[in-house]
Amino acid sequence: MRIPPLTFRLTSGSGSPGNGSAAGAVPVITSRRLAIRPAHPSDYPFLYSLECHPQLRYRWSSDRHLPTFEMFVQRLSFDPARQFVALDREARPIGWVEAYNEDPSQAFAWLGVFMQDDAQGSGFGIEAISLFIHYLFCFRPYRKLYAYVTEPSFSTFKSGAGRYFHVEGVLRDHEYYHGALHDRIILAVYASEWRDLMKRWGPRIGCSLELSN
């Protein structure tokens, strides 16, 4: 069953949002506090600064090696529809959400989110990734989405486990940084549960569940 999407403002652009949208249209997905949209080439220096940030890089763990800027741009160009920029109410870039390591045969992908220092603790990261998850389940044939997160970051939102997401594994003392070992936690979100979740949670953050052009 197709999940009802959030309100999309459709504007012309070079990216392709995936099946079910107007040809050549780029969705901008909004809540009361922020918006996310596909990344443009002009965003790449900002995104690269987040990827290279020595602290942000470990909030949501990634097995990728730190690339050069040229390699980073090449990776993003493979599928810009899975790279979104988070914007505040003044349209200022404040973060980046992405889907990577897709396995089409098994219908899953991995999620990452990187937010600027001044957005930490604001809830913007959770809100941005929630909008992005909804977009992916609407326009990509995923049944599950996974994320790695380090234990210090997980402690800030672990109350949502079992309600908004599931813990599917813990790698004990997996990562060393800031002078200590930290657990790596594997989270999962299921498409089969997302429809009912967004019926309840979507209106609370100012999201319409109707598609508009």
Ramachandran angles phi, psi of 106, nearest 5°: -105, 0
Assess if residue 89 is contained within a domain: yes
Q: Which residues in 172-196 are b (16+ Cβ under 10 Å) and which e?
A: eeebeeeeeebebbbbebebeebee
Q: What is the CATH number of the domain that holds 179?
A: 3.40.630.30
Structural domain contains residue 190: yes
Mean pLDDT of 177-183: 85
Question: Which residue has 């999309």 as its token pair?
Answer: 8
> Binning pLDDT at 50, 70 and 90, where does residue 45 land?
very high
54 within a domain of the structure (yes/no): yes
The arithmetic mean of pLDDT across residues 168-172, rounded, is: 95
Query: Looking at the domain assignment, is residue 147 inside a domain?
Result: yes
Which residues span the domain enclosing 12?
A: 8-205
Distance between CA atoms of residues 129 and 143, nearest Å: 16
The label of the residue with tokens 């443009």 reads 40
213 falls within a domain: no
Q: What pLDDT was estimated at residue 70? A: 92
32 lies in a domain? Answer: yes
Domain presence at residue 19: yes
- Domains of the chain: total: 1
In percent, the amount of the chain with pLDDT more than 70 equals 75
* Res 15: pLDDT: 38
CA distances from 128 to 59, 65, 151, 172, 190 (A): 15, 24, 20, 28, 17
Question: Per-residue pLDDT tens for 202-213?
Answer: 777 776 544 333
Please give the pLDDT value at position 22: 38
Query: Which run of H or E residues covers position 133?
Result: helix 124-139
8 A C-beta contact, residue 153 and residue 60: yes
Q: Is residue 44 part of a domain?
A: yes
Residue 138, pLDDT > 50, answer yes
Helix (H/G/I), strand (E/B), else coil: 67 = coil
